[in-house]
Amino acid sequence: MTGLALDLLIIASLIGLAIQAINGASLFRGIIHFVVLGLAMSLAWARLDAPDLAMAEAAIGAGVTGALMMIAYRRLIEIRPDHDNATRTPRSRLALPIALASGVLVGVIGLAAIQAEPLPGQAGIAVLETLESTGLGNPVTGVLLLFRGFDTLLEITVLLAALLSAQAVTRQDDLDRSLTTEDPDTPLIGALLAIVVPLTVLISVHLLKAGSQETGGAFQAGAVLAACGVLLALTGRLASSRDYSPLLNGGLLVGLVSFILIGLAPLLYGQPLMALPGVWAVYFIESAMMISIALTLVLLFAGAASLKRRSRG
Amino acid sequence: MIEVALPSIILFLIINLIAGMLRVYRGPTLADRMLAALLFSTTTVAALLVLAEWMDLPSLRNVALLIVMLASILSLAFVGLPAGREEAADDP
Amino acid sequence: MSPTESVSLVLLLAGCGFYLAGTIGLLRFPDVYCRLHALAKADNTGLFLICVGLAVLSADWQVAAILALVWMIGLLAATVSAHLIARHAHGAGREPVRPRPDR
């Protein structure tokens, strides 16, 4: 009974927050509502028994996206100091019908999904049955790397393509602007970084390792590592730069390249494409993907071609 | 008894959150609205911890740890907003 | 109900009380500096009590260690955030509300 009330309350607040996030009285309120929506969403995923998604939502939604929007808001004020309030675009007349139509669509699909009975031949059941023979304990990792590895490969490619197109439209003078939002020598920031940065690295490696048996995996670990990089960029420890860095570009590519190479290798032995040779391959690809995902997200956040350590003083 | 108490506690915490959202509407400054987001992250962490115990999902504790670790990113991004013009920037 | 459960229930309810106090403070206090106190202090005490309550309930050292870590990092994050927000409000020229001299 209380469980039902809890679920209904979470659903109601999700809808309310989503409306406020896109329809709030000002951009800043929209940002706050969006951040809060991310937190409520991770509660909802937790209630739905999906800790993997709750974790990704917590790292991306609550950590990185909120900061990204805050930075964008600041740029907006800088670019058009007089137009802060007029930045809300007038609502289109089509907005209400489209919203209603998509609401109905979601409702119909949801009702159909609730009433459908699980078929015995479903893929999900087959995955759970075959999982034991693969040596992996986490069905999510199993699906991502063994059963639907091709999707994951394409996702990594899309992430890289997103970075390339973002860099193609970034203006040169934007690169010279600083992301740093506070004087780097503010007393408490050094202490915060000294504790949080090692801890994020530790947690992301833990998530990577735990990913094969329980909640975690390359995406979550990469997102946590990226949040750590964002923290360093915001506090002025990392600065964007235009210099070509072979190490950084190698890191961007290592996930995709190692996935492709290990995926192609079975062809030499007459086995099907992307039949991964064992659990070590899963670990190897996940580690490489974690590095690439983290670097891509940090570079996307900074809108930069490369990063360098900022010299103090 | 405890099986009923845990969801009621989560329910209470979420109602608390919704009450706290009033501060986002009332403002009046950007810092006030920011505070409400701060309240949200602390309370969500508590709700997730209770949820981990109630639903017997230990990995939710890791989610709570992540939220706590990353909560300061938003504040760090927030203080970069130009301080002098916050009233003009946000009064509806 | 076992004694462990009653102890943890008392702790959890006390934590909820502190959360309630924090929310009331956020809504009722006169200016941003006072509201910071309401959040940074009351909510973290609430989080502490809830963590202790859950640790007692789970009776597991590993869980207790994670809960302790969550609480300590939360304390650190709240400290830094409160400091940064107060600095921002001060930089924006917000004067703290003072009691009127004629009372």
Tens digits of residue pLDDT in A2-24: 888 888 989 999 988 888 888 77
Residues A308 and A239: beta-carbon distance below 8 Å: yes
Q: Do B76 and A234 touch (CB under 8 A)?
A: yes
Quick check: C90 contacting A, CB < 8 Å? no
Q: Do A191 and C84 touch (CB under 8 A)?
A: no
Tens digits of residue pLDDT in C20-35: 998 888 888 888 888 8
Partners of A193 on chain B (C-beta within 8 Å) are none
Q: How confident is the model at residue A185 (pLDDT cuts 50, 70, 90)?
A: low
- B interface toward C at CB cutoff 8 Å? 1-2, 5-6, 9, 12-13, 16, 19-20, 22-23, 29-32, 34-36, 38-39, 42-43, 45-46, 49-50, 53, 58, 61-62, 64-65, 68-69, 71-72, 75-76, 78-79, 81, 83-84, 86
pLDDT score at C50: 92
The predicted model scores a pTM of 0.85
Mean pLDDT of chain A: 80
Quick check: A304 contacting B, CB < 8 Å? no
pLDDT score at B88: 42
Tens digits of residue pLDDT in A79-105: 776 655 545 566 678 888 888 999 899
Q: How confident is the model at residue B46 (pLDDT cuts 50, 70, 90)?
A: very high
Q: Do C83 and A188 touch (CB under 8 A)?
A: yes
Check whether A288 has a pLDDT greater than 80. yes
Query: What's the complex ipTM?
Result: 0.88
Which residues of chain C fall below pLDDT 70? 99-103
Q: How confident is the model at residue B87 (pLDDT cuts 50, 70, 90)?
A: very low
pLDDT score at A178: 62
Q: Do A182 and C84 touch (CB under 8 A)?
A: yes
pLDDT score at A68: 86
